Amino acid sequence: MNRTTLSLIAAGTGLVAVTGFAALTSPDSQGTETASAAARKPVERSSVLCPAPSSSDLAETAYTSFTPKSAAGSSSAAKGSAELAPAQRKLKDEADGKDKKKDKDKDNKTDKPDKADKKGKGKPFLAPEEPGKAVTADASGADAPALIGSADGSLAPGWTVQQTTKVPAGSGRGLLGMACSTPDTDFWFPGASTAKERSDYVHVTNPDSTAAVVDIELYGREGAIKSELGEGIQVPPESSVPVLLSTLTDEPQTNVTAHVTARTGRVGAAVQARDDELGADWLPPSADPGGSVVLPGIPKDATSVRLLAFAPGEDDADLKVSLAGRTGSITPAGNETLHVKSGMTAAVDLGDLTKGEAGSLVLTPTEDSTPVVAALRVTRGKGADQEMAFIPAAAPVGERATAADNRAKGSTLALTAPRGTAKVRVTASAGSEGGRPVTKTYTVRKGTTQAVEPPVPSGLKGTYALTVEQVSGTAYAARTLAENEDGVPMFTVQTLPDDRGTVSVPEAAQDLAVLQD
């Protein structure tokens, strides 16, 4: 018997053995059963990116980290770790390590690092240790760096970091707040500006160990603003790059939509908007383009509201404008509809449409549905004592959403249900320095917005987090932080979309039907 015959016999025997094992171990050797439906399971790893908070020497920034408790976090096997560290820290540490290795090889000795090196190297800025408890850290001045964070295990599902900066005076005055972003490749910012009175910087942060390349496109009232300066912007590994939008064009425009896309890699992006008269705040990206848009949490004492919308597709969008208030929905007089031309930024001033009653703006198609992105610029106060904040189009609360950095006073939670009655459960976490969690349930009627003082932990010390869970229906939410500084009503608004703490994981099963002809 030659080698070829022996090889064929061995291969056939092996195939029979493998097939026989599969038949014995498969749930149905005839292939009549299919895999079970996908299950929702907690994520095992998450990332957050916080841009450099301010260029002002007067800036005081507070960071609050929080991971909600979940069933996955109750088991010791699910223990996790998390840390938030300055951008480029790892690169610096690696460079330091290489330099020290060279010195060690050159001198052929193993000197210990001095105390300064030992103290500063490798230390994270913030490192939470357990779910369910808020952890805080502070930074001062203009040198506070961008931060890059990662979490795994029980600290990963729903990990949220809030960055809140107070600048009492000068350029960039205001209360600037944002939930640190997650890496992505596509961001829309209706509400940006290249006007002379505005200094808008888009901060692009790269969390990875390889360089990223991004493009920044601007769209004004007449369409795309031609510029090659926004193409191919290099973002080095584990670093953050601020780009002044007005340097990308010679054509100042008050209302602009900025589009940030990553050609290579993934990044976080946010716009820091500074106005000579209206203060400063962060403009987060709008929710993904959609036919219907919800912008929740306009404060009851808003003195002016500007709506900005952009249609990124090939078709124009015609939208019905309505305000969901405390008792129901109304249509703003004179602004019943909004026409958004394809590729052009539409802007309309709605004045003080809330009339002393908190609300949420809802945009729905009048006929055919055309995807749009949108944002609101909201101001409080009058004259020299005005302050602005932004509310981007939001995604629903979904299974769960979290807002960190809440205080005993100055926090307001807005809940809206534009399409049907919704019930939500709100939990105030333990405080960063003490306190016990408190839970309260709210029912929000169709077409209304409830603005409430959120529950406060029993015996609160420090700051705390709010976790909002959608019990029934579809709800949208936003949290407002407010603080008065020398007569200026400083404030910032953060929307509360689903924290994506769980993912759909299909259950696989062996199926020999795929081997049949």
DSSP per residue over 28-63, as a string?
Answer: -TTS---PPPPEEEE-SEEEEEE----S-TT-EEEE
User: The domain containing residue 155 runs over which residues?
Assistant: 41-89+122-504
Q: Could you tell me which of 8, 27, 4 has the C-alpha nearest to residue 511?
A: 27
Distance CA(103)–CA(110), nearest Å, equals 9
- The amino acid at residue 339 is H
Quickly tell me which residue has 């383009």 as its tokens: 289
For residue 24, is it within any domain? no
Between the alpha carbon of residue 476 and those of residues 108, 220, 227, 401, 498, the distances in Å are 64, 29, 37, 10, 9
Q: Are 230 and 293 in contact (CB under 8 A)?
A: no
Residue 397 in any domain: the answer is yes
Whether residue 96 is contained in a domain is answered as no
Selection from 229, 298, 246, 292 nearest residue 479 by Cα: 298
- Within a domain: 407: yes
Q: What is the mean pLDDT of each run of 10 residues along the chain (517 residues)?
A: 40 38 38 56 93 96 94 53 82 43 43 36 83 95 95 95 96 94 97 97 97 98 94 96 96 96 98 97 98 97 97 97 96 95 98 93 96 98 95 97 95 97 97 95 98 96 96 98 94 96 72 55
The structural domain count of the chain equals 1
Has residue 131 been placed in a domain? yes
Q: What is the DSSP string of 302-316?
A: -SEEEEEEEB-SSS-
CA-CA-CA-CA torsion for 433, 139, 426, 129, nearest 10 degrees? -60
Residue 86: what are its φ and ψ, rounded to 5°? -60, 140
Residue 20 lies in a domain: no
Does any domain span residue 174? Answer: yes
- d(CA 258, CA 97) in angstroms, rounded, equals 40
- CA dist 92 and 40 (Å) reads 39
Q: Name the β-bridge partners of 4.
A: none
- CA atoms of 287 and 497, how far apart (whole Å): 9
How many Å apart are CA 435 and CA 426, to the nearest integer? 16
Alpha carbon distance 452, 479 (integer Å): 10
CB within 8 A of 394, min separation 6: which ones? 287, 294, 295, 296, 476, 477, 478, 495, 496, 497
Residue 275 included in any domain: yes
| Three-state helix/strand/coil letters over 120-176 | HCCCCCECCCCCCECEEEEEECCCCCCEEEEEEHHHCCCCEEEEEEEECCCCCCEEE
Per-residue pLDDT at 247: 97
Residue 481 pLDDT: 98
